[in-house]
Amino acid sequence: MALTPYEDALSMVLENAHALPLERVLLWQAFGRVLAEDIRSDSDKPPFDNSAMDGYAVRAEDLQGENIRLKLVGEVSAGGESSVKVEAGTAVRIFTGAPIPEGADTVVPLEFTKQEDNYIVVEKPLKMGANVRLRGEELKEGEPILKRGTLIRGYEIGIMAYVNKVSVCVYQKPKVAVLSTGDEVRDIGESLEKPSHIRSSNNHALYAKALELGCEVVHLGIVKDRPEEIKKVLEQAERYDVLLTTGGVSVGEKDYVQKVVKEMGFEVIFHKLRIKPAKPVLMAKKGRTLIFGLPGNPVSCVMAFDLLVKPALMKMQGIEECRPKVYRATLTKDFSRKDAERREFLRASFWEEDGKLYCDYSPKTQSHMLTSYICANCYLVVYENVKELKAGEQVEIIPF
């Protein structure tokens, strides 16, 4: 059977991943979530004309010439108000954030003045409006500021507090379950009874990666290569939005995950892609639940997550731009391969030098070598039918 190209698989992922229902949460719980409403300013910002400096509120027209003496008639601090008006020839002591008193239009910074008894001397003239923050100069009441689909980071939390959002509408977190399969696979801390047993890294990597994307994640443990055990877990698939399995999706006799998925009548969206590694990856659907059967090889597993599962989890949370972003960089070392049938994704690192991006790939190119991710910050894409890449060539990278 022909292998499915990556773009087609990604389109199928996005066609089948739908934004989850909404929920309202308190602002402080919204960190890392995705906005499901447009946010507008609740008021003009600043809400009133106020001082940008500690100094004196004056009338600019009084400041013609140098060393002008003005009579000090009052004081206004942040949170306060002035009881006096600024009349010709007078000044009011003012602090940052305090409202500009009636009659004043300019603030002279403290450092441009000298105080002499009840007078201040202003050393030089200032432009009218200097150091005054005008009502509404940043935002008008009702002005749109954050759009639905925005990821909420610390900045957005601050901005929403600024406009008095106590609670906010966000997309629900995808519920993700992670299952590892394999007779040889033992979890961390378990004893390896046989030399042929291996340590399970996939379940932990996937758990953390789903958490990183703001999901609610559960570990379903490790099951043996036994169809009944796998079936038992798959029967519960609809409890989750996304079920991630690892291992057992190739064509080997013991690759029961793909067999059981098919036997149970789940709708198979794709199985086997024209990519390297992670060729055997499978995607299926049961009701609204997406099932990703990721390969057991640790690199294949993590890579398939980045390239296929991550876009789905982003879309489910209402993020519109969820396709992996591609950049161009200059390759710094030759690459060649014999079999160029599939699109290969090498673990690589990129950096900036003199305004240009450069990229080098890890010599650990095989799919069992998880440490190829150490120091890596991108995939280097080697397209189908490309047998070699030369140092100095422009290549495509997908940062992660």
Note whether 247 binds ligand AMP by CB under 6 A: yes
Note whether 277 binds ligand AMP by CB under 6 A: no
The span from the CA of 48 to the CA of 53, in Å, is: 15
Note whether 296 binds ligand AMP by CB under 6 A: yes
246 interacts with, out of ligand AMP, Mg ion, none, CB within 5 to 8 A per kind:
ligand AMP
- Minimum CB separation from ligand AMP for residue 206, in Å? 9
Name the H helices within the chain: 6-16, 154-162, 202-212, 227-234, 256-263, 298-304, 310-316
Note whether 82 binds ligand AMP by CB under 6 A: no
297 interacts with, out of ligand AMP, Mg ion, none, CB within 5 to 8 A per kind:
ligand AMP
- Minimum CB separation from ligand AMP for residue 306, in Å? 16
**How big is the chain, counted in residues?**
400
Residue nearest to ligand AMP (CB): 296
Q: What CA dihedral angle connects 289, 293, 298 and 302, to 10 degrees?
A: -40
Note whether 295 binds ligand AMP by CB under 6 A: yes
* Cβ-contact 139, 128 below 8 angstroms: no
Note whether 298 binds ligand AMP by CB under 6 A: yes
Nearer residue to ligand AMP within complex by CB, 129 or 252? 252
Amino acid at the residue 45? K
Q: What is the DSSP string of 66-94?
A: SSEEEEEEEEE-TT---SS---TTEEEEE
Note whether 201 binds ligand AMP by CB under 6 A: yes
Q: Give CA angle at 11 (7, 17), nearest 5°.
A: 145
The span from the CA of 349 to the CA of 359, in Å, is: 6
Note whether 280 binds Mg ion by CB under 5 A: no
Other beta carbons within 10 Å of 205: 18
- Minimum CB separation from Mg ion for residue 235, in Å? 21
- Minimum CB separation from Mg ion for residue 395, in Å? 33
- Minimum CB separation from ligand AMP for residue 332, in Å? 31
Note whether 182 binds Mg ion by CB under 5 A: yes
Nearer residue to Mg ion within complex by CB, 230 or 376? 230
- Minimum CB separation from ligand AMP for residue 385, in Å? 26
Query: Residue 357 is inside which H or E element, if any?
Result: strand 356-361
* DSSP code of residue 62: G
* Cβ-contact 37, 145 below 8 angstroms: no
Nearer residue to ligand AMP within complex by CB, 250 or 362? 250
Instruction: Return the residue of 247, 293, 298, 311 that touches Mg ion, per CB under 5 A.
Output: 247
- Minimum CB separation from Mg ion for residue 274, in Å? 22
Note whether 293 binds ligand AMP by CB under 6 A: no
Nearer residue to ligand AMP within complex by CB, 152 or 178? 178
- Minimum CB separation from ligand AMP for residue 376, in Å? 18
Nearer residue to ligand AMP within complex by CB, 119 or 270? 270
By CB under 6 A, which span of 22-30, 48-56, 228-236, 247-255 interacts with ligand AMP? 247-255
Q: What is the DSSP string of 300-358?
A: HHHHHIIIIIHHHHHHHTT-S--SPP-EEEEE-S-EE-S--SSEEEEEEEEEEETTEEE
Residue reference for tokens 């004081």: 75
- CA distances (Å), origin 72, targets 86, 104, 274: 9, 13, 79
Which residue spans within 82-153 are E strands per DSSP?
90-94, 106-109, 113-116, 119-122, 132-133, 144-146
- Which residues are at the interface with ligand AMP (CB under 6 A)? 180, 182, 184-185, 198, 200-203, 246-248, 250, 252, 295-298
- Which residues are at the interface with Mg ion (CB under 5 A)? 182, 247
